[in-house]
Amino acid sequence: MAKLRPSGGYRDTVSFQTATLIYDATYWFCEKFLDPHSRLVDQMVQAARSGRQNIAEGSRASAVSSQTELRLLNVARASLEELLLDFEDFLRHRHLPQWAPDSPEAMAVRRVPARFRRQQSDPSDRTDLTDLTDQQRRALYAPWLEHDDPAVRANAIICLIHQANYLLDQQIAALERRFIEEGSYSEQLAAARLAERQRRRKMADPTDRSDRTDPTNQIPNCPKCGRLMVLRTAKKGKRAGTQFWGCSGYPDCDGILNL
């Protein structure tokens, strides 16, 4: 049986690939230009790692929880924002110049993907940066990320962080729209379960109309938040063992309906 919702596939996303580039570049930057024993190095490397790892974890979690995926992508976004401030601080504290967003230097870094596509010898070749290995992708940015001048490296990483943050903002907005339009995993699972029960009943007896009167075949909306509800069984108390409708948004919403 196919998964109700796809998950994974994060390795092929531009956001994850850019975050990987940032993580590697940050590790080598700290190794070359900062005291390896300083707390700042730990913070910068961990922020870069968090940006990458949370994209991956969120992608895997998407199969069962839109909320978890959104939360982890927001954590990734926040981690990269923290890293951005650290690189800006590095430049400012050392009186080094920071490239303006529309400067020739910054534009050169931002145009690497477009330049790579133009340089393909075969016009029909649709190879993109997402099709390259991490090593091949890093080689395209090597003139900046392996530069001897720390200001060039820091500014190039800042450009990449801005790109990753833009991609994550778009990804988060798309997930929010999908959640509003399609509902949570629990809602989709309940709807799929209901559809399967009705399909099997029709196959067994095409004349059966009990689905119109059986309350377990009519999924209500939560009276508190409006989400679809899920059929649950009470585990304790005077109603232990009896079924009831519980909000699919639990524990954020504790709305219930008795059968």
Same domain, 23 and 109: yes
| Domain final residue, candidates 135, 158, 182 | 182
Report the C-alpha gap between 80 and 164 in whole angstroms: 8
Say whether both 154 and 174 belong to one domain: yes
Contact of 3 with 63, CB cutoff 8 Å: yes
Task: Select the more confidently predicted residue: 61 or 54.
Answer: 54
Per-residue confidence band for 50, with pLDDT thresholds at 50, 70 and 90: very high
Judgement on whether residues 160 and 192 belong to the same structural domain of the protein: no
Residues 141-150: pLDDT tens digits?
Answer: 999 999 999 9
Predicted confidence (pLDDT) at residue 7 exceeds the cutoff of 50: yes
Structural domain total, the chain:
2
The answer on 107 and 14 residing in a single domain is yes
33 located within any domain: yes
The per-residue pLDDT of the chain, averaged, comes to 84
Indicate whether 239 and 167 sit together in one domain.
no
- Print the domain residue range for 218: 186-258
Residue 173 pLDDT more than 50?
Answer: yes
Considering only CA atoms, give the Rg of the chain: 25
Residue 47 has pLDDT above 60, yes or no: yes
Does a structural domain hold residue 157?
yes
Instruction: Name the residue type at position 18.
Output: T
Same domain, 40 and 53: yes
Per-residue confidence (pLDDT) for residue 128, from 0 to 100: 77
Whether residues 49 and 109 share a domain: the answer is: yes
pLDDT of residue 170: 94
Domain end: 146, 167, 182, which one?
182
Is 168 in the same domain as 230? no
